Chain A
Amino acid sequence: MDGENVLDCRGLRRSFGKIVAVDGVGFHIAPGETYGLLGPNGAGKTTTISMVAGLLERDAGEVTVAGEPMTTRSVRAKGALGYVPQDLAVYPDLSGRENLMFFARLYGMPTARARSRTDEVLGLIGLADRAGDQVKQYSGGMKRRLNIGVGLLHQPKLLVLDEPTVGVDPQSRNAILEGVERLSGAGMAVLYTTHYMEEAERLCDRIGIIDHGQLIAEGTRDELVSMVGEGDQIRLAATGDLAGAADELAARPWVRQAKALDGSIDLVVDNARNELPAILTEVTATGVLVKSVEVAEPDLEAVFLHLTGRALRD
């Protein structure tokens, strides 16, 4: 265990009845580092961070936050952690200011300090002019910002964000991502779970890919992409028997990976420029109608596909 890490977790395991939700997950986060836990819905992301945040008893494994062991009863470890749940965990009958004041006091701040910190956070999340309004009068984006603001109140060493952009409009989503970038830049360690590949690529210094409760790969974006190997990614937007066409292509030696998705075929090939004419000929011969072609370097989506044989959003 590295004493400098803000978060260290090892061998986390949790079952619900016969279902093993998390099985042997372990990772660490250094100060100022943003770590992304990327995986499809039901992969075990929320269960993992529930154990990290001390919300859920674990069957096995260890968690240390800022050097303090974390359990469901750890008061000191929880004081070093800011938790932003996926649901809007704020009180609708209280105002934005009352919500922040309540949680600031709950985190042990004296009244004067809680008041000044509440004002700071209200400014940070852009709700200063609506601070006195009841939360039930806020828009979805405002509630989402307040939800994050509560997690920042006590200036935690580790901020845990559980899919904070689910159900958020593009403008608010961008504001949230910018906010996380600022916090990370200011030295806060961030654990960020998402099933949006673009968010993980943009925010995270390192990414852990989780599937069926297991951490199947971990590293920087480039390290993960290199797992797919040197090559190009081709996306054919098409209609017809896409699965049949993907199977035909997968049999070619210069095709490393071929997968039919919803309305497209995703391929990883050695050299897109050389192989593209042959690919189009092959696909057209199967009766598939190609509407557009997109060539790119492999991304995390391709990595997940490579590792699991499934798309992130399957």
Chain B
Amino acid sequence: MRAAWLICTKDLKARLRDRSALLIGIVVPLALAFIFNVIFSGVSGSSGVISLGVVDADHGAASQAFTQQVLPAVKSSGLITIHTEASPGQARKLAAKGTLDAVIIIPADFSARVQAGQPASMQVIGNVDAAISAEVARSITEAYAAELNRVRLSVATVVAGGGAADTQALAAQAAATATPAAVSDVSAQTKELDTKSFFAAGMAVFFLFFTVQFGVTSLLEERSEGTLARLLAAPISRASILGGKLLVSFLLGVISMAVLVVATSLLFGANWGNPLGVAVLIVAAIASAMGIMSLLATLAKNAEQAANWQSVVSVVLGLLGGTFFPVSQAPGVLSTLTFVAPQAWFLRGLGDLRGGSLGVVWVPALAMLGFAVVAGGVALFRLRRLAEI
């Protein structure tokens, strides 16, 4: 253990001196997290609140149900501010200028057409620079339209069965009492991270796979530079040489992640969640990264080839694991495929931790440890080959 620690401290000293580990492990992920944060939080406004304009040219039962029940309910979530505009033209101008993120226009004959069972529509106009806001406005109106259609179908069924005589009055009453569509904090409901926390965690775990390479691959570097022969000639066990290298990987991973957690929390306001749960997930992520990177190192002929393979695999797993985009936005098959990447389990674990108790981290942590055991087990078996001149 003493020899392993000596080798570890020697490697850490050299790594910190050439600054490569510092750049890859801390500076680059921090910078990218900051840049992505700025770019993506700007899509729907930096405040995170959608400014929604409404033009009610109808003032009928169906439109009033929307403006007086649905929209206030949505507004109460705190995610949207409602601005009533007098005319469609004025509202369009404000949306074009960016004063409003999106506008919903209810035409004059909307309620009459609904009550008559005729096709009726509401318009949604979005600001071109606020695509997500327009999508939210569209979702609200579609939810309300779907509710109206459901009620109209119910009424039609009742009438067809002879349960009521005054169809128009029944329809008006049903429309007026339609359940308001509700919009709440989607991220809280699906246990997804907010933008700041997502990019902080995504970049941290993405670059973790590069950071841990420094320890494992240095065994190949020592072999090509001739220093491995000197270590092998020293009165120490081969296990202590391997242990020293693995310890370097682990410590670099811990240092990198710890600094990033603290820095992104203080600088960007990222919310990582329960510290104990985060620590469990970080240790599991480091173990999985070490296992996979070690396996690749044992398959390579030299340090350069190992670094190339490790970089390719890190990027592919990082993309697949949703470190650059939320997993929930991927199509079905891809969404499932993401879990072949430990990064996806790490982000899922953090998301679950935000929406649940500490116990929720065990599934993602065990999944990551599974990667560590399988890949690391094969790597350890093959690592003996690396400890030869």
CB-based contact A91/B10 at 8 Å: yes
A89 to B388, CA, bound (A): 15
A83 to B232, CA, bound (A): 10
Given A73, A83, A102, which contacts B233 in the complex, CB threshold below 8 Å? A83
Given A50, A76, A102, which contacts B235 in the complex, CB threshold below 8 Å? A76
Q: A218 on the interface (CB 8 Å rule)?
A: no
Q: B230 on the interface (CB 8 Å rule)?
A: yes
A83 neighbours in B (Cβ, 8 Å): 229-230, 233
CB-based contact B238/A73 at 8 Å: yes
Q: A234 on the interface (CB 8 Å rule)?
A: no
B17 neighbours in A (Cβ, 8 Å): 93-94, 134
CB-based contact A102/B238 at 8 Å: no
Candidate in A76, A86, A106, A134 with the most chain B CB atoms within 10 angstroms: A106
B231 neighbours in A (Cβ, 8 Å): 106
Question: For chain B, what secondary structure do more than half of its interface residues adopt (helix, strand, loop), or is it mixed?
Answer: helix
Would A103 and B389 be within 8 Å (CB), given that A85-B226, A93-B18 are in contact?
no
CB-based contact B226/A87 at 8 Å: yes
Shortest CB distance A45–B (Å): 14
A150 to B14, CA, bound (A): 18
Given B6, B18, B388, which contacts A106 in the complex, CB threshold below 8 Å? B6
CB-based contact B10/A89 at 8 Å: no
Stretch at the interface among A21-29, A53-61, A204-212, A220-228: A53-61
B10 neighbours in A (Cβ, 8 Å): 91, 94, 98, 102
Shortest CB distance B364–A (Å): 37
Q: B123 on the interface (CB 8 Å rule)?
A: no
Shortest CB distance A23–B (Å): 20
Q: B146 on the interface (CB 8 Å rule)?
A: no
A185 to B234, CA, bound (A): 25
A296 to B232, CA, bound (A): 44
Q: A107 on the interface (CB 8 Å rule)?
A: yes
B238 neighbours in A (Cβ, 8 Å): 72-73
A103 to B18, CA, bound (A): 21
Shortest CB distance B83–A (Å): 62
CB-based contact A55/B234 at 8 Å: no
Q: B13 on the interface (CB 8 Å rule)?
A: yes
- Residue tally, chain B, CB below 8 Å to A: 23
A173 neighbours in B (Cβ, 8 Å): none
Q: A75 on the interface (CB 8 Å rule)?
A: yes
CB-based contact A105/B6 at 8 Å: yes
CB-based contact A55/B233 at 8 Å: yes
Would A106 and B3 be within 8 Å (CB), given that A75-B235, A79-B235, A89-B229 are in contact?
yes
Would A55 and B227 be within 8 Å (CB), given that A106-B6, A106-B236 are in contact?
no
Q: A42 on the interface (CB 8 Å rule)?
A: no
B99 neighbours in A (Cβ, 8 Å): none
Scan residues 45-91 of chain A and give those whose CB is less than 8 A from a CB of chain B. 50, 53-56, 72-73, 75-76, 78-79, 81, 83, 85-91
Given A50, A89, A98, A107, which contacts B225 in the complex, CB threshold below 8 Å? A89
A87 to B232, CA, bound (A): 14
CB-based contact A50/B230 at 8 Å: no
Scan residues 210-240 of chain B and give those whose CB is less than 8 A from a CB of chain A. 225-227, 229-238
Shortest CB distance A16–B (Å): 12
CB-based contact B234/A89 at 8 Å: no
A79 to B3, CA, bound (A): 14
Would A54 and B233 be within 8 Å (CB), given that A91-B14, A94-B13, A106-B3 are in contact?
yes
Given B6, B14, B389, which contacts A56 in the complex, CB threshold below 8 Å? B389
CB-based contact A89/B232 at 8 Å: no
Would A50 and B6 be within 8 Å (CB), given that A83-B229, A88-B226, A103-B230 are in contact?
no
CB-based contact B235/A85 at 8 Å: no
A98 to B238, CA, bound (A): 22
Given B6, B18, B232, B237, which contacts A102 in the complex, CB threshold below 8 Å? B6
Q: A132 on the interface (CB 8 Å rule)?
A: no
CB-based contact A108/B389 at 8 Å: no
CB-based contact B230/A107 at 8 Å: no
Given B3, B230, B235, B236, which contacts A89 in the complex, CB threshold below 8 Å? B230
Extra contacts, 10 of them, besides A79-B235, A85-B226, A91-B227 (Cβ < 8 A), are: A55-B389, A56-B389, A72-B238, A73-B237, A75-B236, A83-B229, A87-B225, A93-B17, A94-B13, A98-B13
7 closest A-B pairs (Cβ-Cβ)?
Answer: A87-B226, A83-B233, A79-B235, A93-B14, A78-B235, A89-B230, A89-B226
Query: Which A residues are closer than 8 A to B by beta carbons?
Result: 50, 53-56, 72-73, 75-76, 78-79, 81, 83, 85-91, 93-94, 98, 102-103, 105-108, 134, 150
Query: Which B residues are closer than 8 A to A by beta carbons?
Result: 3, 6-7, 10, 13-14, 17-18, 225-227, 229-238, 388-389
